[in-house]
Amino acid sequence: MSDVRHFFSFVEEEMDKPLLDNILHDPVDFFVFLLFMPWLNIVIYFLLLSDPSLATYFVLDSNDPSRLPMLLSNYSHVDLSHLLSNMRSYLFVMPLIIALNFERIKFRIHMLLIFLLLPILFSILTLRGVPSAGTVTGMSGIVAAMFGYLLYSTFAYMAGKWSTGNPIHLLFAALCTNLVIISLTYGNLWLVIFCSFIVFANIIKGQEVLHRIFSRAELILSRWNQENLDLIHRPWERKKQERFIEIVTAVSIIILLPATSAFLFPGNIISPDGVRTNVLVHYVGYVSGSLLPFITGSLER
């Protein structure tokens, strides 16, 4: 248990940094994650639009797979609506992740693994698990991993900043809750029962931490009074920034489960225009993003 608690530990003086120190005052993260990554996807889209023959390098074909597309297909889009959907979700979740992570070196290592290794894993899973997928493109697996990493980041922030205690059981409960929703969506009753049992068991074990989280979130949301209205007119000073990051955290808690379930696991796997959603890659990405800090932490030790 002490090892698990170690993964949720933070350097206290780092956590006192205000929100903008994490998003704007660090040009490396701002440039790489909020500018370069979207730009990369947009450039590849226009390259494929202007010269379809480049699909050999950027589009994974399950009938004739090659090495380079196993990585690059995860940053490629051949449909504008697909690109915009992924970019919208990515640009929504990434600022929250940056804001809630204070250990910059570990954060960048995790992002490096997500952007370079997980795409190859997604491609292998697609070729093995969905051999009839045909041509495969899109960043949704990486976006799913980002939602999972937001889940970890939120619990880790609460453990360090709010002193809620070790939330590992609640993290597993959240992961299994999404699996329950997936099972209900696609009609697997036995998996619903099994995962529901795991959810309840973890909630019972983490009920004290859960009570602290809801108490703190309720306190934060109840501050929307005249004091908060006064803060709007104040300069962007530390108190205003700290209040904002608390609100961001509370909102993150609210959107985690419904957002991931609605975006990652739609009711219709095949859309009206024939686009297939790879829910296997979505869930593997979501779980990988959530558990990656634990895996890398175990390797460090």
Q: Which pLDDT belongs to residue 271?
A: 46
pTM exceeding 0.75: yes
Please tell me the distance from the alpha carbon of residue 214 to that of residue 297, in angstroms, as a whole number: 28
Q: Which pLDDT belongs to residue 162?
A: 74
Q: Which pLDDT belongs to residue 85?
A: 87
Please tell me the distance from the alpha carbon of residue 300 to that of residue 296, in angstroms, as a whole number: 6
Provide the residue range defining the domain that includes 151: 2-300
60 phi/psi in degrees, rounded to 5: -80, 125
Q: Which is nearest to 101 in space by CA: 245, 2, 216?
A: 245
E strands present in the chain = 60-61, 135-136
153 phi/psi in degrees, rounded to 5: -60, -40
Please tell me the distance from the alpha carbon of residue 248 to that of residue 242, in angstroms, as a whole number: 10
Q: Which pLDDT belongs to residue 215?
A: 80
The answer to whether residues 93 and 150 touch, using CB atoms and an 8 Å cutoff, is yes
- Concatenated DSSP letters of 239-284: HHHHHHHHHHHHHHHHHHHHHHHHHHS-S-SB-TTSPBP-HHHHHH
Q: Which pLDDT belongs to residue 234?
A: 58
Q: Which pLDDT belongs to residue 121?
A: 93
Domains: count for the chain:
1
Please tell me the distance from the alpha carbon of residue 36 to that of residue 44, in angstroms, as a whole number: 12
Torsion sign across C-alpha atoms 284, 290, 292, 294: negative
The low-confidence residues of the chain, meaning pLDDT below 50, are 1-4, 9-13, 16, 18-19, 266-274
The answer to whether residues 120 and 285 touch, using CB atoms and an 8 Å cutoff, is no
Q: Which pLDDT belongs to residue 34?
A: 92
Q: Which pLDDT belongs to residue 80?
A: 92
Q: Which pLDDT belongs to residue 244?
A: 64
Q: Which pLDDT belongs to residue 204?
A: 92
User: What does the chain come to in residues?
Assistant: 301
| Token pair in block for residue 191 | 């998996």
Q: Which pLDDT belongs to residue 47?
A: 96
Helix, strand or coil, per DSSP, at residue 61: strand
